[in-house]
């Protein structure tokens, strides 16, 4: 076990802005490193959902998905394009709505799970677009980034579940 200050380790971060003293388990399977967040201590108070790294990332990705989807062929703008725009925006919206209910741990976790589900839906839509339009390389990049966001949301759900006081 290695103790790392902050959660800036890509793919293992808890998504909490201001997190310190994060313990990350590092496995070395023949130089294929895997990272797993073990615990995290938050030293900074969160005043808004805008302080959450997962919200900031979800917002940025939703903007990028929106712009990329408008480059789809005209007949896809109201089918696949509309669906991916809605699911990508839902990720950030569920984080924001859940934060408003953070006083109630179970409610907060419920909305974070909804956010994670919307992230999975967005990944599914991106995978379809990658097959249908392989020439649109921005969807491949977004797929990788949504996979990272999903891991961060999941780590944050674990953090709230284990550390949140109602």
pLDDT in tens, 18-74: 554 455 544 444 545 555 554 454 445 678 999 999 999 999 999 999 999 999 999
Q: What average pLDDT does range 144-153 have in this prediction?
A: 98
Model pLDDT, residue 5? 40
Q: 3-state class of 106 per DSSP?
A: helix
User: Which among 85, 51, 50 is positioned nearest to 69, based on CA atoms?
Assistant: 85
Model pLDDT, residue 3? 39
pTM here is 0.74
Q: What average pLDDT does range 137-161 have in this prediction?
A: 97
> How confident is the prediction for the chain on average, in pLDDT?
83
Task: Mark whether 28 and 58 lie in a shared domain.
Answer: no
Domain CATH number, residue 128: 1.20.1440.60
Task: Mark whether 29 and 62 lie in a shared domain.
Answer: no
6: containing domain: 2-42
């Amino acid at each position: 076990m290695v103790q790392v200050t902050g959660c800036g380790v890509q793919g293992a971060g808890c998504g909490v802005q201001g997190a310190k003293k994060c313990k990350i388990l590092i496995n070395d399977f023949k130089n294929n490193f895997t990272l797993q967040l073990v615990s995290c201590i938050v030293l900074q108070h969160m005043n808004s959902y805008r302080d959450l790294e997962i919200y900031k990332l979800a917002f940025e990705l939703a903007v990028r998905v929106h712009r990329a989807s408008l480059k789809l062929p005209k007949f896809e703008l109201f089918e696949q394009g509309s669906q991916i725009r809605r699911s990508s925006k839902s990720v950030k919206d569920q984080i924001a709505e859940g934060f408003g209910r953070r006083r109630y741990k179970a409610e907060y976790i419920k909305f974070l799970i909804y956010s994670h589900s919307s992230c999975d839906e967005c990944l599914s839509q991106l995978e379809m677009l990658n097959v249908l339009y392989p020439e649109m390389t921005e969807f491949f990049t977004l797929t990788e980034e949504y996979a990272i966001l999903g891991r961060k949301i999941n780590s944050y759900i674990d953090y709230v579940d284990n550390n949140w006081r109602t």
